[in-house]
Amino acid sequence: MKCLPILVVEDDASLREAIVDTLNLAGYPTLAAEDGTVALQQLKKFPVGLIISDAQMTPMDGYELFEAAKKDFPGVPFILMTAYGVIERAIDLLRAGAAHYLLKPFEPVALITEVEKHLLRMPSSQLDGIVAESAVMRQIFALAGRVANSEVNVMISGPSGTGKEVLARYIHQYSRRSVGPFIAVNCAAIPENLLESTLFGHERGAFTGAAQALPGKFEQAQGGTILLDEVTEMPLALQAKLLRVLQEREVERVGGTRTLKLDIRVLATSNRDLQAEVEAGNFREDLFFRLNVFPIRLPALVERKEDILPLARILLKKYAEAAGRSQLVLSDDAECHLTAYSWEGNIRELENVIQRAVVLAGGMEVIAADLLLDHVSEIAREPPVISNNAGSFMSDERDMKTIEKCHILDTLTAVGGVKKLAAEKLGISERTLRYKLQRYRDEGVVSECAKAPEEGSRE
């Protein structure tokens, strides 16, 4: 397993260097900071598997750093280095969630022993499609790898399309139950009148149409993991029954009298604010606490920009190979548009865009026009030169869609309306050009750009 860096926070430069050297000699990557303020800056930039901090520092001491790290970087283990005289405060930190404390002076072997116990690691082999180039995602998968070894319930939250089920499968894969089944139940997709029998099973004759007894999803997950996807969509009446199943670890089929003991791991996901749902009376508080033992929040795609291009390349490879176009790659211009886009639909939207681009791409590269992204929030380069007379419509109010439209029509005008030549100059396929021109005609668009000549039969 790959180790995440250890952040050493110590204002004594000599001691800080000695600790870093000890850790490096033992094979652990490190980061260093001279106080809590600098440490927080490091935490925002890099994934960290363990914080080892001195207690007495200025302007932010180890106790303040612990509180800040616990709030903004939950799950990162924290070891406090302290003197014998203030051991009481160190014990208070243990009660508040710190991993351990070390009394100064300590031997290198004692330091390494505690590091071995508490350091977060990322499994070296990951599920297909998992990308964790950004600091926040490396931290999340390190936490997921650690919680996978336990049996606690995990609640995964985050916006739709961020990959919550992918993370749940990751936890299952690295758990002791990996050889058992992984059963996912979409609580939002199953009709309310069928959800109970789907989850808990039913006996023959339990209701109209129950021609035979069927085991529920909980029974099917025996010895493995069950994922309650979008659990906040579950009706309140069924939430009470689910709570009992989770408490007693046993299930009774609808229409049955026999109980079955369960040996399962429970994971759940939601795209809603669970605390707000509880306060609004839409979700039982006791069920919330039962499921929310170890919460993990997945960030929106725009919060992990470093992952956008790696994800796009993986998706492009997948869909290009399926289409028999395995050599297809992203152009620099397309990559620029992808990283600048807002991605309100997160990874699911990115997947749709890549699928569409594979269909539209005319050459060996996916260009920006193939992505059909209507609005780009910012472009991390100078805007392209469109044509000699393009300045008349290169105002701040024009979005990239308008610029692209005028560029296409100007190019078509410059080549006398010959689509083949225009497509070559634009770097797109004739099919893509025809599609765009038909769209412009449907929209009745010619007024804001240089009017293209009538194409007629000119090819």
Nearest-angstrom CA–CA distance, 186 and 151: 22
Nearest-angstrom CA–CA distance, 135 and 193: 43
What would the two tokens of residue 142 be? 């390190």
- Listed in sequence order, the residues at least 6 apart from 193 whose beta carbon sits closer than 8 Å to its beta carbon are none
Q: Which CATH number fits domain 135-299: 2.30.130.30, 3.50.50.60, 3.30.930.10, 3.40.50.300?
A: 3.40.50.300
Report phi then psi at 130, rounded to 5: -80, 130
The pLDDT value recorded for residue 123 is 58
Using CA atoms, how far residue 40 sits from 17, 32, 100, 186, 419, in Å, is 19, 11, 20, 38, 56
Using CA atoms, how far residue 449 sits from 290, 370, 419, in Å, is 60, 21, 18
Tally of CB atoms within 10 A around 374:
10
Dump pLDDT digits (tens) for 307-350.
Answer: 999 999 999 999 999 999 999 999 999 999 999 999 999 999 99
> Do 294 and 153 form a contact (C-beta atoms < 8 A)?
yes
- Listed in sequence order, the residues at least 6 apart from 103 whose beta carbon sits closer than 8 Å to its beta carbon are 82, 83, 84, 87
Q: Which residues of the chain have pLDDT under 50?
A: 125-126, 375-398, 446-459
Using CA atoms, how far residue 247 sits from 176, 290, 423, in Å, is 21, 8, 64
Nearest-angstrom CA–CA distance, 144 and 171: 6
Secondary element (H or E) of residue 32: strand 30-33
The pLDDT value recorded for residue 407 is 75
Do 2-122 and 135-299 agree at the fold level? yes
Kindly report the pTM of this predicted structure.
0.68
Tell me: domain 2-122, CATH 3.40.50.2300, correct? yes
Tell how far CA 168 is from the center of its chain.
Answer: 11
Torsion of CA 26, 31, 34, 39, to 10 degrees: -130
Domain ranges of the chain: 2-122, 135-299, 303-371
The pLDDT value recorded for residue 378 is 40
What would the two tokens of residue 4 be? 């995440």
Among positive and negative, which fits the CA dihedral 150, 151, 157, 162? positive
DSSP-derived letter for residue 382 is P
The pLDDT value recorded for residue 427 is 65
- Listed in sequence order, the residues at least 6 apart from 189 whose beta carbon sits closer than 8 Å to its beta carbon are none
Q: Which CATH number fits domain 303-371: 2.40.10.10, 1.10.1740.10, 3.20.20.70, 1.10.8.60?
A: 1.10.8.60
Rounded (5°) CA angle 276-277-280: 85
Tell how far CA 454 is from the center of its chain.
Answer: 48
The pLDDT value recorded for residue 399 is 54
Helices and strands in the chain: count of H runs, count of E runs: 19, 18
Burial class (CB in 10 A: 0-12, 13-18, 19+), 39: buried
Classify strands 121-122 and 2-3 as parallel, antiparallel or unpaired.
Answer: antiparallel
The pLDDT value recorded for residue 450 is 41
Nearest-angstrom CA–CA distance, 105 and 5: 23
The pLDDT value recorded for residue 380 is 38
The pLDDT value recorded for residue 328 is 94
